[in-house]
Structure 1
């Protein structure tokens, strides 16, 4: 996948949902935020369920399995914005939307509803990119920050920086030493942080991230096994197949065949 722009808006739109309308379980390759203009619904992620109401937004992170559903009596109307890039990580950190936070409140006194409708209309009507970005920043600035901002755990900050580096560089020939160097800590310290928060080593996390990207390519592209292996940061198809077999208990070719048969 390689390097991404500092900030990209991929798509946005608006929907007035019918009672019980749902989406998922699904995985997104980028950030996706839903801003609720009216009504309510539920959002499920990482084994948790959140009730989301008018004036709130829920965040979908890349590679998270999510599900959301409109209320049966008071279904929501929302605007969604799909975005990504290194600046996106910084923005979400600034507004305290960290790895363990999925819901935020919107300051409706800042004309957020107007800007949300405007960005959806702008995207639909062959938008000007500067106009779209302008609305995006106005919308993000309406997110309410928590009043009691506590000093952030340094280890969590290191973890987020490491994961962000992996996200944007997994397709290159990087290793654990490169990650530690980017974060600015020793390899052994990085290992302890990953074991504490992710219950796996940095090497395991990197490999699993690459395999997740490879599975997506196996199901959605016609690239060869070797092309997918190299695109996802593996040195060769043999190493890729060995890692894939260990993790999935089947070969990449068998995995692709199962997906094709399921679609028929």
Structure 2
């Protein structure tokens, strides 16, 4: 393999045959193998017989010359939205989008009222009304607490509500994440497993390390290591908001921020 520090995706293993592997892949307490390989770069992958289980392993590598090894992980980052090109004539799809925008604004005005802002309960109503139309999602809808969290994460002026622009941004994100969720919910169960969640996070433009993937599983998965649509969206809303918050505090772009206790508590307690 070529030298890489990034987490390897499923495609890598589909198109690259293993150079050595255990002869019998069976469910035993202990499996040990010894291999002799020519000098090269290799990725070594311990695994359990059943998925989503943890186990200890010992790996010894003997080499004539000094060799280096490290865990393959991603840099922690999020893709920035690309700037839209101007000057082109609107396509049919763009015109449909404009009509959808007008309908969307009318619906928002009916829900929000004179102040043109919506709270958590109103957000829950509008999201669940839309989700009901997507029978293939097989979800019971968003919990009120989930919508409170979404409001807090999208609320840029600290009013406890979100305006039309904030709601539009949230809704556009949810639509794109919904497509990703449906892509990985291949059995139409209404959930995706923790391994599929890694690929879904990657498809959404987030690059995380193994520790963060484990945290997501502990926080959002059920006892069977599955993540439902509500938890999936809440996870992505938080990821998106936390990356935006970090970039806002990271004035010099060095990847390090400094917060006082008030800023820290405001950022964590409200979200």
Which of the five TM-score ranges fits, normalised by the shorter chain? under 0.3
Q: Which has the higher contact order (CA 8 A, sep 6+)?
A: 2
Higher strand share: 1
TM-score normalised according to structure 1 size: 0.25
TM-score normalised according to structure 2 size: 0.24
- Which of these two proteins has the greater Rg computed from alpha carbons? 2
